[in-house]
Structure 1
């Protein structure tokens, strides 16, 4: 895998998750108590032996930069290769990711690797990229697109791309999941190809103006290149809506899902924060919940994900909630089906309830 470089394209859909991306990218949204969305794809690439990874991000990248830093948690703070971050600081966001790639084309040209794995971050999974690359090379494909045969597509993976595949495992066309069919071949927005093909696609988009997104340029080459498909069979979710974010965090409470996602094809790494252990005060009750370090739990927590440095005061009841770091839940308050962003304080004797299909979202730095 030393001849492969990784490209993370963070030009991702935020229309249905804006409550959590007002001040950050999708890639830097906290998940599972102590991780960020980007941790999964970064770890997957590092576990496959990729040592040169470029992160192409949009605006609002302060939170992302604070999290990934120089890449030390992923062993990417190195002299040869490492982690490189590019953003839209001098580009036009309206021109989307093709403009971003064009402005930083020298990074691709000067990298010593001859092959590329291009991926988004919001498709969360633990994938063995080495197996996918092995299939790509043995198949003779010019481009291999990774996909998942997904169920429950009437309510999940909405607005994701869908691959139509023939009997030879060639991609014949690409559509959208609009919730009509229960089963679909969901495109994971992960593409394997030679670096020179990616550069050709970028220049073609720039000169013709045919596409503003690099994935659309790939979809338009189905007749020009041999574009095949590799099936991923593990757990997959797409963080492209409030509902999918909520469901994913609750999925992490399932032992089987958690084992597969965090340990199956290698560990998932994240930024290390040295916190004191969580203190469980006498009389508190915890059931089927994930609680990170640094918390003080005096009340009741059920079926919830609690991030670092959260305090749940005496008599408070938290059920089916996702609470991000540095929050305080007042005494005797009752919270059900709620997503609470960072640095929120809930006063005493408050009763807040969302729907399990449409959870209530409290944005960061609020006092209620």
Structure 2
């Protein structure tokens, strides 16, 4: 592959509410056994991108822990590899990343030392499969300066939380509006870009000189009439998990057989860090319907249309419906959970009831289960 990869995974997202108070969005658990960043990393390795940099910042401990070994995504090579860059204070710079362009600028030495002619930039908070080679071939065929991967939303979907795009007949982007109050287009940017490496270095350096810090606002939107920026449309599954409702819906999509088969069974595979945990134990009297339950869990109650992550304990006579239970949660006897996301390492006391009446409810119990 003639490209180097950059995964932007440092942003803080308040729309995730309490779920991001102790982890980055890119570290959010997805589909029982994965983290959100696994999908971007798997796409990189499956597209034979051998050198990938992950730029982390906000609440990065959990994410850095997840990335502490590159072998899970086959980046443990002599050539290339997986690089994790956090903000570094130097004699010239005392800032954290002030935006996506600034994050790239602070790690510009990495790009300057690379030899690959192209760069693939993507976020770490989307669930999808993609062959970046096809986007690169399209980019070269169009003689584009920048190629933006975009997707047509279905009627009724909210486009205002994305960047909206309008293209002409040749797919050149004529209008680009970031998170508009009212969306005039149903075509959105997926946050995946292809650009020539030298061009990226020039644009980012120019941004820094003018004290501009955002890749979308200060490069894509600002240069849309000066540079040849093209859109590459995809029709396959793509979902961004940047709000509580979107995160909930993305996980629930994995209960659909076609989505589950697409990610779990169809090649190429999605890779993740593997934990040595025993298989799920279903005790006598447990009832499970249309649910995903990860390894290390023990089930004594009823689970319907739900996703239970690793090391979940479900007590006697518990009922869990339409809910997401994150890693290492203990549910006491006679607990009732419906339309909820239960935060990891929670202990839900026996005989308690949590129901999301008006949408999804995030449940966080401040119980210290472990001795100090």
Taking structure 2 as the reference length, what is the TM-score of the superposition?
0.93
RMSD of aligned alpha carbons? 1.9
Residues 264 and 165 of structure 1, relative CA distance in 2, 3 Å threshold: farther
Q: Any idea what the Cα deviations from partners look like across 1:215-260, whole Å, max 9, x if unmatched?
A: 2212211122211110111111111100000111111110101222
TM superposition shift of 1:100? 2.4
> 1:364: how far off?
7.2
1:120 counterpart = 2:123: yes
1:142 to 126, 129, 145: 145
Q: Counterpart in 1 of 2:13?
A: 14
Q: Which residue of 2 aligns with 1:221?
A: 223
Question: For 1:68-123, what per-residue CA distance to the aligned partner results, in whole angstroms no more than 9, with x for missing partners?
Answer: 11311001122211000111243523622333222221100001211100111122
Q: For 2:186, which of 172, 184, 187 is the aligned residue?
A: 184
**CA distance 1:331–1:11, shift in 2 (3 Å):** same
**Gaps in structure 1 of 5+ consecutive residues:** none
Query: In the TM superposition, what are the counterparts of 1:241-320 in structure 2 within 5 Å?
Result: 241-264=243-266, 266-320=268-322
Q: Is the 8 A contact 1:177 1:184 kept in 2?
A: no
Q: 1:39 to 1:298 in 2, by over 3 A?
A: same
Paired residues, number = 364
Residues 68, 272 of structure 1: alpha-carbon distance in 2 compared, 3 angstrom cutoff: same
TM-fit CA distance, 1:190? 0.6
1:25 to 2:24 alignment: yes
2:331 is equivalent to residue 332 of structure 1:
no
Partner of 2:110: 107
Deviations 1:301-328 (A, max 9, x none): 0000001110001100000110011111
The CA distance in 1 between the partners of 2:220 and 2:197, in whole Å, is: 13
- 1:325–1:342 contact (8 Å) kept in structure 2: yes
**How far apart, in 2, do the equivalents of 1:179 and 1:97 lie?**
22
Structure 2 equivalent of residue 59 of structure 1: 58
Which position in structure 1 is the counterpart of 2:68?
69
| Structure 2 stretches lacking a partner, 5+ long | none
CA contact (8 A) 2:165 2:185 kept: no
TM-score by length of 1: 0.94
Q: Which residue of 2 aligns with 1:235?
A: 237
- How many Å separate the matches in 1 of 2:194 and 2:55? 17
Is residue 128–residue 265 contact of structure 1 (8 Å, CA) maintained in 2? Answer: no
Q: Distance in 2 between the 1:77 and 1:120 partners?
A: 22
| Farther off after superposition, 213-222 or 108-117 | 213-222
Residue range with higher mean Cα deviation, 284-293 or 182-191: 182-191
Equivalent residue, structure 1, for 2:173: 171
